[in-house]
Structure 1
Amino acid sequence: MVGVGDSARAMAAAVAAKEVSARELLEVHLERIDAVNPTVNALVSIDPDRARASADAADARTVSGEPLGPLHGVPVAIKDTHHVEGWRTTFGSPVMADHVSASDELIVERIRAAGAVIVAKTNTPEFASGSHTFNPVFGTTLNPYDTTRSAGGSSGGSAAALASGMVALADGSDMGGSLRNPASFCNVVGLRPTWGRVPTWPTWNLWETVSVQGPLARDVGDLALLLSVIAGPDPRVPTADSTPGATFADPEPADLRGLRVATTIDMGGAFEVEDSVAEVVRAAVDGLASAGAVVEEAYPTLPNAESAFRVLRAWLMEYSLGDLLDSEPEGFKASLADNIRAGRPLSGHDVAVAYAQRTALAQRAHEFFGRYDVLAMPVSQVPPFPAEQEYPSTINGRAQRTYLDWMRSAFFVTVTGCPAMSVPAGFTPDGLPVGLQLVGAAGSEARLLQIAAAYEALSGAGRRRPPLPAA
């Protein structure tokens, strides 16, 4: 029988073939949750009764002979910033601690329609702000590979739940690295798609291009499966890409021979990268070269990437959370409140300049990927850091003044508009996971998945499971 360590693809196939029931599959995952979630604290608002009802309905569909969705019977968890009808959705914030969603949002609609069994929500920092998952509602999510360390964020609960074997798939979102950073920290796979690839609805701003939703999984094949479900057009979202989601399922590994790989550790000194991370990334790139890839030290020059990101982040946060901050000033952590307030002095001109800068950055990236197939670089500038810290205060002796400073390796990519994913690359001498960030041209998810699948087979780092009770 398939178990919690198997792929989501194997689980769906086994349920469809009646080798295991959705209820049986759920129960082994609930047992796993009972065994490890008290230690890791990745899943929140767990609802076994609701999940059992969903699993039983899935089994009824199996028996009836109805067409089955690609996630039929697969246990999944939804980030606690995404609305699930009738489910507590807190955004990790004490001011939203009792909020219950009235309906599913689009990404959840699609996951549910594909036959998945929703088990729980996944922990997140307050309003998904920051790349370390802690909040006053549910506490801190810990890294399954070292429970004294951060699981990353803001989709840290999702990544930790996957690495721990508590669910087979999970969703997330990414503004400055929130899909990629926790994937790197937890030795799983996370993809920040091109804007419009995974449409968001409802939304207050159809034209917002900084934050996107996307998939996390334990391997590239499972991630592609989830992407195939959540991607694709929707009539409510005119900015959605028209490519059908099914395009992304079952990627064939790329032939690495002759692949044009650009690589950089720090984009010419634009940010600090801890030595232990740099060593793992270099070894990963050496592996690509040994497999026949043509590797060259190169990166797109991205002037104004930092200013564009910070201005747009502050502007978006002030608009979406400013009124709530005014009404509940004691309900926000200081770093988030400061980020919201940073948006208040911004003028229309400031925002227009930031969008013009993004346009120029996207053009630079377009020109760069005319010469290279993929850019390989660090996801995060540090390995998982102590869980009691809000964020790393220094890297290689260089001060990190805010909770954003240490994520430049991720948010510099954000403002190009390019898809980027984290794939397991290896471990530091202390046994901490490190991800390799693979970046492709805008709209190139299908090709990026093929490259990632080839690298995954070459590396094997993702097969190393955390030192938790045996699954």
Structure 2
Amino acid sequence: MTRPNDLSATEARKLIGNKQLSPLELTKSCIDQIERYNPSINAVVAINHEDVLKEAKKAEDDVMAGKELGLLHGLPVGIKDLNPVKDLRSTSGSKLFENRIPDYDDSVVADIRAEGGIVFCKTNTPEFGAGANTKNKVYGATCNPFDLTKTPAGSSGGSAAALATNMMPLANGSDYGGSLRTPAGYCGVTGFRPSPGLVPATEASVSLNPFSVQGPMGRDVSDTYLLLQAQVNLNRADPFSSLNSLSMPDELIGADLSGVKMAYSPDLGCAPVDNNIKATLLEKINTFKSNFLLSKEDHPDFLDIHECFEIIRGFNFVASHKEKFDLHKDLLGPNVIDNVERGLKYNLADVSWAHVMQTKIYKSFRNFFNEYDVLICPAAAVSPYPHEQLFVDTINGKKMPTYMRWLALSYASTMAIPCVWALPCGLDHKKMPFGIQLIAPAGKDVQLSEIAKSLESVLMVNQLTKRPVPEIK
């Protein structure tokens, strides 16, 4: 018998609206799942049972009273620990904020509440989202549900691991250098990196930063899109927010793939990628490329992407964390320290060069899509690795020059301002989850979402590409 916590978000929401599922019953089922599995996985790091059950009871009462219901009414939603939540411990994974209990919700959380979502818990993240291994000095490491000795990646690793184990139907994430996409790939779930401003983000130290975005995560495209609809809003506190963000269809029907031109690339022409992962991508592509009008191995010219990324990321870290670095360096983790120190080495000429280069990369990227509708590549450069290892330092026997280089599969497109779906696509050569990225230029969110919906339908009926599900002992 299917337990409430095992239901998809879209199915649960439908049952709630039809008075066939109690939000309180669903919430209690999710709490039971957390109590069962979280001690081993450490994905959920803060939850107030009394407040959550009170919210769920109110949601149930509203249903029974026939009140108008929001998109997420009665659905528990996990909140990444970078997002402040009113009256709930919100640490950002840092000893600096170890005991912080905000007196407000940030805009992402407020929009989820406004659509009837139950703000359920906080999910683990590396300190201030720095790094692709979800571990920090406050809560420790989150484990990959498919192998508890390995990482779920980061920085949205807690959200991805919680979704993979059905602790909640939906969770939010954020993404700069793959923080949402890599965990989705490592845990066999789905995530969407939207265009800047589609999901308003109001907490950034530097508001004119289109590289870091908030986005939804779920177990499939429809669930993830449901959360996206609730997160989409017009908020002038985000300078990228636009009225155009309000023109999302109510439901995805899927694109006709026979009219879609698809490019694919094992390494985007610029990223270090394990040879086995390259082979795995090509094997997966061969199973579904015939569904497309055109399928061709190709990639944009990402020019001098690595230096450009390092400089701009360094600038953003100095802007966001230099004061913490100056006053409380002893409390900070190695990734934040490394990013700030690296950023401080650059001068105005370096930053100017990087922004000129980023503009060239952006134009090159958009020109590429004059010939294609979607670009597919792996979600991660290597198979999930041990969580004791802070980052991937070697690929194909070659030493990585920085702790971020192994994430070039994600940050290359970030610098070009994309929208990106991460979809589960079976298992890799080590029998761990394998994910793919579906990439398009910013502004193509709806078109890309329709493609993702249709491709997911193709992937799920093939044993080689269907979504893997963890078996936790």
Which residue is 2:294 aligned to? 294
Which residue is 2:451 aligned to? 451
- Asked if the contact 2:155–2:180 (Cα under 8 Å) also holds between the matched residues in 1, the reply is yes
Query: 2:403 corresponds to which letter in structure 1?
Result: Y
Does structure 1 residue 193 correspond to structure 2 residue 194?
Answer: yes
User: How many residues get paired?
Assistant: 468
Does structure 1 residue 177 correspond to structure 2 residue 178?
Answer: yes
How far, CA to CA, are the matches of 1:241 and 1:173 in structure 2? 19
Q: Structure 1's 120 and 68: CA in aligned 2 closer, same or farther, altered over 3 A?
A: same
Which residue is 2:135 aligned to? 134
Does structure 1 residue 378 correspond to structure 2 residue 378?
Answer: yes
| Superposition deviation, residue 267 in structure 1 | 2.6
- Asked if the contact 1:141–1:156 (Cα under 8 Å) also holds between the matched residues in 2, the reply is yes
Query: 1:307 corresponds to which letter in structure 2?
Result: E
- Asked if the contact 1:218–1:462 (Cα under 8 Å) also holds between the matched residues in 2, the reply is no
Q: Structure 1's 358 and 249: CA in aligned 2 closer, same or farther, altered over 3 A?
A: farther
Q: Structure 1's 248 and 133: CA in aligned 2 closer, same or farther, altered over 3 A?
A: farther
- Asked if the contact 2:394–2:400 (Cα under 8 Å) also holds between the matched residues in 1, the reply is yes
How far, CA to CA, are the matches of 1:2 and 1:114 in structure 2? 24
Which residue is 2:333 aligned to? 333
| Superposition deviation, residue 106 in structure 1 | 0.7
| Superposition deviation, residue 209 in structure 1 | 1.4
How far, CA to CA, are the matches of 2:396 and 2:365 in structure 1? 28
How far, CA to CA, are the matches of 2:250 and 2:390 in structure 1? 37
- Asked if the contact 1:187–1:462 (Cα under 8 Å) also holds between the matched residues in 2, the reply is no
Which residue is 1:211 aligned to? 212
The C-alpha deviation readout for 1:252-297, integer Å capped at 9, x for no partner, is: 12111132111111233x2221133223311232233222441111
Which residue is 2:411 aligned to? 411
How far, CA to CA, are the matches of 1:81 and 1:62 in structure 2? 31
Does structure 1 residue 107 correspond to structure 2 residue 108?
Answer: yes
SS state at 1:142 partner? coil
- Asked if the contact 1:318–1:344 (Cα under 8 Å) also holds between the matched residues in 2, the reply is yes
Which residue is 1:279 aligned to? 279
The C-alpha deviation readout for 1:61-83, integer Å capped at 9, x for no partner, is: 11222210010000111000001
Gaps of 5+ in 1: none
SS state at 1:147 partner? coil
- Asked if the contact 1:2–1:10 (Cα under 8 Å) also holds between the matched residues in 2, the reply is no
The C-alpha deviation readout for 1:210-248, integer Å capped at 9, x for no partner, is: 211111110000111111111132233342132244615
CA RMSD of the aligned region, Å? 1.5
Which residue is 1:27 aligned to? 28
The C-alpha deviation readout for 1:322-348, integer Å capped at 9, x for no partner, is: 111111111112232021112223333
The C-alpha deviation readout for 1:124-163, integer Å capped at 9, x for no partner, is: 0011000110011101000011111110100000000000
Matches within 5 A, 1:86-105: 86-105=87-106
Does structure 1 residue 365 correspond to structure 2 residue 365?
Answer: yes
| Superposition deviation, residue 462 in structure 1 | 4.9
- Asked if the contact 2:79–2:123 (Cα under 8 Å) also holds between the matched residues in 1, the reply is yes
SS state at 1:262 partner? strand
How far, CA to CA, are the matches of 2:242 and 2:150 in structure 1? 38
Q: Structure 1's 79 and 248: CA in aligned 2 closer, same or farther, altered over 3 A?
A: farther
State the identity as a percent: 33
Which residue is 2:442 aligned to? 442
| Superposition deviation, residue 204 in structure 1 | 2.9
How far, CA to CA, are the matches of 1:176 and 1:60 in structure 2? 42
Which residue is 2:472 aligned to? 468
Does structure 1 residue 83 correspond to structure 2 residue 84?
Answer: yes
- Asked if the contact 2:47–2:88 (Cα under 8 Å) also holds between the matched residues in 1, the reply is no
How far, CA to CA, are the matches of 1:309 and 1:244 in structure 2? 27
SS state at 1:170 partner? strand
How far, CA to CA, are the matches of 1:176 and 1:249 in structure 2? 29
- Asked if the contact 1:191–1:421 (Cα under 8 Å) also holds between the matched residues in 2, the reply is yes
Query: 2:374 corresponds to which letter in structure 1?
Result: V
SS state at 2:344 partner? coil
